[in-house]
Amino acid sequence: MEAYQWIHPAVALFAVLLLAATAWTKLGPKKYFRLHYGLAGATVTMMIVAIGLGIYTIVRCDCLDDWPPTVFIHALLAGLFLLFLLAQATMGVTMLVFGRKPRLWRTHRRNAKLLLGLAVPLVLLGVTTVVLLLLS
């Protein structure tokens, strides 16, 4: 792997840690409202940067034959993850501006758990991809 290819996994790992911290601030026993909103903004930004860097890495490499098949599954899952993350952010901002409606709040919490569940295979596929690239 070239040096620029290591930037995406580092940023993505940091973004997933931000996601976990964001979820912990609201799903944990004590609720940290302002910290949650600050971390949520940073999480969305870092996830968009991480996915952009992943796209840049694939486009710049010009070696599509050398990529393991897990890269394409990882990219598809990352796109789905970004869709759910943007929906999560939209629900959060809507509740912040217009007030917390019970149905929207339940959907927001359910989507947060879904995001955490999607993050696990996304990270595992990313680690598998890096290992396969190092072995090839």
Three-state DSSP state, 118: helix
Domain ranges of the chain: 3-135
The string of pLDDT tens digits covering residues 2-49 is 777 788 899 999 999 999 999 899 887 788 888 999 999 999 999 999
Residues 56 and 4: their CA atoms lie apart, in Å, by 10
The string of pLDDT tens digits covering residues 68-121 is 888 889 999 999 999 999 999 999 999 999 988 999 999 999 999 999 999 999
Residue 10, class by beta-carbon neighbours within 10 Å (0-12 exposed, 13-18 middle, 19+ buried)?
exposed
